[in-house]
């Protein structure tokens, strides 16, 4: 199946000599939410900027719904909305007009009913006559989204939508994205917040040093790379791990009253039942057991480290 966005062997070397992207290939299906993760300078903004026609690639192709972004840029661009990292709004213009004018930039005629619908869905309708300078930071971000949606794009790019905003605003932004998903908009977002990818994305792409290390369904990634830690609390402290249990990767807490065991969630046998049985045989009484799943953050850090070591 052909995706709504098809990226093939995309590369970008800036005039300064910096190679920001190397041979990136990916296909994005209509209606998906993709989170692009990567450390600072990984190439995420460059990738988005190329798809949106703001940066010219040095190699490779991008098609949006079949339209090549270079040879058929007008058609490609109509299908795309970009919410930039920086807030740049005309301070004295009203919310309604700011959003309305954006339609014009895409060569679209006036459609006040659509603007009304967009503003209502982003809880901005009450503020339609307010100059943008009088809005809160969160509202300004929502105006940027409204502007990006004014020409009814099929694909929306959000470049670090919640960088530097507080927790409440971040959650509010997630709700906006969730609503757009329900409306069928394909969303590609870049983020530094793993929590954000974990919360929203269907698939996660990891970019490091201009290379796409992987792009995989989030759940699959969590299952495959996710490890669990079992913590066993003991009734009586031990001085050391019993010799019978050495070589299993068990760790004893400095106080001696807790053993931790890291195990692979995908392994056929986790070894937990055996371990608990052996503890009982050795006369070690267990007070409590608990498990903890590693977060996407830990998965991500290990991936980038692997990528850098390669
Ligand atoms: N206009 C430019 N001219 C020269 N080099 C650039 C330009 N824009 C970006 N770069 C370089 O390209 C590399 C990738 O930058 P890019 O902004 O795409 O990364 P990023 O993953 O978006 O980072 P961040 O998370 O910090 O926004 C960096 O080394 C950056 O310094």
pLDDT at position 59 over 90: yes
Residue 297 C-alpha to ligand 1 middle, in angstroms? 22
Its pTM stands at: 0.77
Architecture, CATH, for domain 5-223: 3-Layer(aba) Sandwich (3.40)
pLDDT digits (tens, 9 = 90+) for 239-263: 999 999 988 889 999 999 999 998 8
The minimum-distance atom of ligand 1 relative to the CA of 21 is 14
Return all residues near 247 (Cβ < 8 A) that are at least 6 apart: none
Question: Which residues approach ligand 1 with their CB closer than 6 A?
Answer: 14, 16, 18, 20, 38, 40-46
Q: How far is the CA of 158 from the centre of ligand 1 (A)?
A: 16
Nearest CA owner, ligand 1 atom 2: 14
CATH architecture of 227-293: 2-Layer Sandwich (3.30)
107 — phi, psi (to 5°)? Answer: 75, 20
CA angle 29, 34, 40 (to 5 degrees): 140
- 27: enclosing H helix or E strand: strand 19-28
Which residues, in sequence order, are CB contacts of 175 under 8 Å at separation 6+? none
**CA-closest residue to ligand 1 atom 18:** 43
pLDDT, tens digit (0-9, with 9 covering 90-100), for 81-113: 998 887 788 889 999 999 998 887 777 888 899
CA of 109 to the centre of ligand 1 (A): 35
Domain residue limits, the chain:
5-223, 227-293
- Percentage above 70 pLDDT, the chain: 91
Q: What ipTM was reported for this prediction?
A: 0.95
């Amino acid at each position: 199946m052909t995706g709504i966005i098809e990226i093939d062997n995309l590369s970008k070397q800036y005039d300064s000599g910096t190679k920001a992207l190397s041979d990136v290939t990916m296909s994005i299906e209509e209606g998906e939410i993709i989170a692009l993760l990567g450390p600072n300078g990984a190439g995420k903004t460059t990738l988005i900027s190329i798809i949106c026609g703001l940066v010219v690639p040095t190699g490779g192709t991008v098609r949006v719904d079949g339209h090549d972004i270079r040879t058929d840029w007008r058609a490609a661009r109509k299908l795309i909305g970009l919410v930039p990292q920086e807030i740049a709004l005309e301070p004295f213009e009203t919310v309604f007009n700011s959003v309305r004018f954006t339609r014009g930039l895409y060569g679209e005629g006036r459609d006040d009913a659509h603007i009304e619908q967009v503003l209502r869905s982003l809880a901005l309708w009450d503020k339609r006559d307010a100059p943008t300078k009088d809005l809160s930071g969160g509202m300004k971000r929502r105006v940027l989204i409204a502007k990006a949606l004014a020409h009814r794009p099929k694909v929306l790019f959000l470049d670090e939508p919640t960088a530097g905003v507080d927790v409440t605003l971040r959650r509010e932004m997630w709700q906006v994205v969730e609503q757009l998903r329900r409306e069928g908009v394909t969303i590609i977002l870049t983020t530094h917040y793993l929590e954000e990818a974990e919360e929203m994305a269907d698939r996660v792409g990891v970019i490091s040093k201009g290379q796409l290390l992987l792009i995989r369904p989030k759940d699959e990634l969590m299952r495959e790379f996710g490890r669990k830690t079992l913590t066993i609390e003991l009734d009586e402290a031990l001085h050391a791990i019993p010799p019978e249990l050495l070589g299993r990767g068990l760790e004893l807490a400095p106080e001696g009253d807790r053993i931790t065991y890291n195990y692979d969630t995908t392994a056929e046998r986790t070894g937990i039942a055996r371990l608990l049985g052996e503890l009982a045989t050795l006369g070690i009484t267990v007070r409590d057991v608990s498990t903890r799943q590693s977060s996407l953050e830990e998965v991500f850090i290990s991936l980038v480290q692997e990528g850098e070591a390669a």
